[in-house]
């Protein structure tokens, strides 16, 4: 059984191959979830303490932040389940899919555990998806398995495309499936969905059959996403600089 960074080569050679999310991504998600959960609990405890001190307005503010962090913890917890549970095993004539519900944070697919023969696969389809929210934009690439009987299975997605945070972790899985099953990777272009609040709450992905955006609109979305990513990097650098200055 192959579990390595050279899984695409193994898939082409016909050897069994197992794909999971990289260990660093899984552990980073775990640590982030724990940190958010701890901070949310501490903020809630602080709000209760302020209530006993009869600092009503400050208690309400701290409680609101605690609720926001608790909701954000639920969001990253879903991402954690997706990263730890995703597993794709390519065998000689079939593949075994362990697809957790958290593999997408916008599409919200149900968890699926399937064994599919390569002969049943029609294509792997991919499309870019842009989401704008509060003056920002994010870009991701979603992958769907199209079967010959007509049904489609949402596989996974790569996020933060076009930014310094881009981590195309699942592209090699899609490429390996295409190589092993000898099917096309069908590019469906780009669509724009509803970004909701911070692309966390109230998001909505267009139907998979939605037509691709005109090229001019695609370019605008790409630029917007790249600008958002650059701004995020600048904020992090400024925050680190301030911390160093204050610390010194």
pLDDT single digits (tens) 71-102: 989 889 998 999 999 999 999 999 999 999 88
pLDDT tens readout for residues 129-147: 999 988 888 899 999 999 9
The answer to whether the CB of 217 falls within 8 A of the CB of 192 is yes
Q: Tell how strand 87-90 and strand 94-99 pair up.
A: antiparallel
How large is the C-alpha radius of gyration of the chain?
Answer: 21
Angle at 95 between CA 174 and CA 100, to 5 degrees: 70
Rounded CA separation 135/55 (Å) = 35
Q: What is the pLDDT of residue 4?
A: 41
Spans of all domains in the chain: 28-80, 116-242
Q: What is the pLDDT of residue 147?
A: 95
The answer to whether the CB of 96 falls within 8 A of the CB of 111 is no
Rounded CA separation 84/105 (Å) = 14
Q: What is the pLDDT of residue 54?
A: 84
Q: Among all chains, which residue has been given the structure tokens 């696969």?
A: 121
The answer to whether the CB of 227 falls within 8 A of the CB of 130 is no
Output the six-digit token pair for 112: 């699926």
Q: What phi, psi does 181 have (nearest 5°)?
A: -85, -10
Q: What is the pLDDT of residue 152?
A: 95
Residue 154 CA, chain-centre distance (Å), reads: 13
Residue 246 CA, chain-centre distance (Å), reads: 35
Q: What is the mean pLDDT of each run of 10 residues along the chain (248 residues)?
A: 44 78 90 93 92 87 92 90 93 94 90 95 96 88 94 93 80 94 95 86 90 93 83 48 50
Of 107, 195, 190, 194, the C-alpha closest to 152 is 107
Terminal Cα-to-Cα distance of the chain (whole angstroms): 52
Rounded CA separation 64/47 (Å) = 9
Which ranges in 53-170 belong to alpha helices (H)?
Answer: 56-85
Q: What is the pLDDT of residue 227?
A: 83
Q: What is the pLDDT of residue 232?
A: 55
139 DSSP β-pair partners:
130
Q: What is the pLDDT of residue 205?
A: 92
Q: How far is CA 60 from CA 37, 50, 200, in A?
A: 19, 9, 23
The answer to whether the CB of 80 falls within 8 A of the CB of 102 is yes
């Amino acid at each position: 059984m192959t579990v390595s960074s050279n899984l695409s080569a193994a898939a082409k050679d016909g050897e069994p191959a197992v794909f999971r999310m990289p260990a660093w991504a899984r552990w980073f998600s775990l640590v982030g979830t724990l940190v958010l959960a701890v901070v949310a609990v501490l903020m809630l405890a602080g709000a209760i303490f302020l209530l006993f001190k009869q600092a009503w307005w400050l208690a309400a503010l701290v409680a609101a932040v605690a609720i926001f962090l608790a909701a954000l913890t639920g969001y990253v917890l879903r991402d954690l389940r997706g990263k730890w549970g995703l597993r794709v095993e390519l065998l000689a004539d079939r593949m075994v899919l362990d697809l957790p519900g958290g593999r997408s944070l916008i599409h919200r697919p149900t968890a699926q555990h399937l064994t599919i023969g390569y002969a049943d696969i029609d294509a792997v389809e991919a499309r870019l998806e842009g989401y704008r929210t509060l003056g920002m934009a994010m870009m991701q690439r979603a992958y769907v398995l199209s079967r010959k009987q007509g049904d489609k299975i949402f596989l996974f997605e790569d996020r933060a495309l076009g930014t310094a945070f881009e981590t195309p972790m699942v592209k090699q899985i899609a490429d390996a499936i295409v190589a092993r099953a000898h099917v096309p990777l069908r590019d469906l272009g780009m669509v724009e969905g509803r970004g909701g609040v911070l692309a966390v709450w109230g998001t909505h992905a267009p139907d998979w059959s939605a037509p691709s955006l005109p090229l001019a609109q695609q370019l605008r979305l790409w630029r917007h996403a790249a600008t958002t990513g650059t701004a995020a990097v600048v904020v992090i650098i400024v925050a680190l600089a301030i911390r160093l200055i204050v610390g010194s």
